[in-house]
Amino acid sequence: MQNIQSSYRDLNANFFSQPTDSECKNKIEIPTDVNCQSINDALRLFTSYGLSDLKNANLMNRVDSKFVLPITFLPDLLLQLKQYYSVLEINNNRISSYHNQYFDTPDMSLYQDHHNGKLNRYKVRRRRYIDTDTEFLEVKLKNNKKRTIKNRMKLTGEETEYARCVNFINEQIQVDIDDLDLSNLDINQQGGYQRIALANEAQAERLTLDFDLWYENRRGNNKVKLPGFFIAELKQQKISKRSPFYQLMSANNIFPTTFSKYCIGCALLYKSSIKSNRFKPILSRIKHFNRIEHVSFLKSN
């Protein structure tokens, strides 16, 4: 795994110095009819929880339901959810910043597995939680029962960490099943977003709202920003339409869709050199949301 080793050594210089400090703050690039103040005002109405408070809604083994919505829905959506969910608060912030760095093989095997609808597929990423200044190496499996299983190891910057990373990835990815050559894993893309993390302990579910997405290739000479929409991801032990959020979506005739941040980033950054037919419908919606000037708000459930 020579490539991932050299990439790992260069990580701080090449990745986590990006974006600049001013971009790391909770500033949201969104249309003029939605502003940071309206989102923050809505968030102040929630009760809050801390990182160590969740018991029933931790959900490292779960099922996910994703919804892609125009950013103009976000303030009104928050107002309608405040009585059912609490919001994660870290250092007095209720909006968190995430940076991701994804690894893949030179022929983008992990991306191709997803594009081709292969079961038991993986993603490998390094994630930095800006607000807590912590980093994890994560391997996510989507198994043949459509469950998402995430395992991770905390990164500390120690000299022996590379070997630990290699062992961790080899333990998590079953090469004999997926016929994946791990020796060529390398940085494929980097990106980030802002997140609002809601939880409903009584119903053992979490709801993350991710917005202000950006992607960049490894060289940094191709960058894409997507300010016009947000991704609502409902995480549950098993799918239950009794969820307050799910019921609100149903009342508005909004249905789950597939959305992979990694794959959409690949399709946007490398569209001239890879297949992306499977993602054309969602790419079309993203294009529409990033051009839209105004949409009506959600109706109450």
Which pLDDT band, with edges at 50, 70 and 90, does 159 fall under?
A: confident
What confidence score (pLDDT) does residue 145 get? 84
Task: Please check whether residue 118 lies inside any domain of the structure.
Answer: yes
Task: Please check whether residue 297 lies inside any domain of the structure.
Answer: no
| Nearest by Cα to 73 from 300, 299, 301, 297 | 297
- Classify burial at 96, counting beta carbons within 10 Å of its beta carbon; exposed 0-12, middle 13-18, buried 19 or more: buried
Task: Please check whether residue 86 lies inside any domain of the structure.
Answer: yes
- Domain span including residue 210: 2-289
What confidence score (pLDDT) does residue 272 get? 85
* Domain count for the chain: 1
Which pLDDT band, with edges at 50, 70 and 90, does 90 fall under?
A: very high
Task: Please check whether residue 295 lies inside any domain of the structure.
Answer: no
Task: List pLDDT tens digits, range 264-273.
Answer: 999 999 988 8
Which pLDDT band, with edges at 50, 70 and 90, does 138 fall under?
A: very high
- % residues pLDDT > 90 (the chain): 56
- % residues pLDDT > 70 (the chain): 81
Task: Please check whether residue 190 lies inside any domain of the structure.
Answer: yes
Min mean pLDDT across 74-78, 257-261, 289-293 is at 289-293
When pLDDT is averaged across residues 134-162 and rounded to a whole number, the result is: 90
Spell out the SS3 assignment of the chain. CHHHHHHHHCHHHHCCCCCCHHHHCCCCCCCCCCCHHHHHHHHCCCCEECCCCCCCCCCCEEEEEEEEEEHHHHHHHHHHHCCCCEEECECCECCEEEEEEEEECCCCHHHHHHHCCCCCEEEEEEEEECCCCEEEEEEEEECCCCCEEEEEEEECCCCCHHHHHHHHHHHHCCHHHHCCCHHHCEEEEEEEEEEEEEEECCCCEEEEEEEEEEEEECCCCCEEEEEEEEEEEEEECCCCCCCHHHHHHHHCCCCCECCCHHHHHHHHHCCCCCCCHHHHHHHHHHHHHCCCCCCCCCCCC
pLDDT at 25 over 80: no
CATH of the domain at 184: 2.40.320.10
Task: List pLDDT tens digits, range 49-64.
Answer: 998 887 655 556 778 9
Contact 154, 134 (CB under 8 A): yes
Q: What is the pTM of this model?
A: 0.83
What confidence score (pLDDT) does residue 178 get? 54
What confidence score (pLDDT) does residue 32 get? 41
Task: Please check whether residue 240 lies inside any domain of the structure.
Answer: yes
What confidence score (pLDDT) does residue 73 get? 92
Is the CA virtual torsion 240, 279, 265, 119 positive or negative?
positive
What confidence score (pLDDT) does residue 21 get? 33
When pLDDT is averaged across residues 145-165 and rounded to a whole number, the result is: 89
pLDDT at 33 over 60: no
Which pLDDT band, with edges at 50, 70 and 90, does 162 fall under?
A: confident
Task: Please check whether residue 296 lies inside any domain of the structure.
Answer: no
What confidence score (pLDDT) does residue 20 get? 34
Task: Please check whether residue 245 lies inside any domain of the structure.
Answer: yes
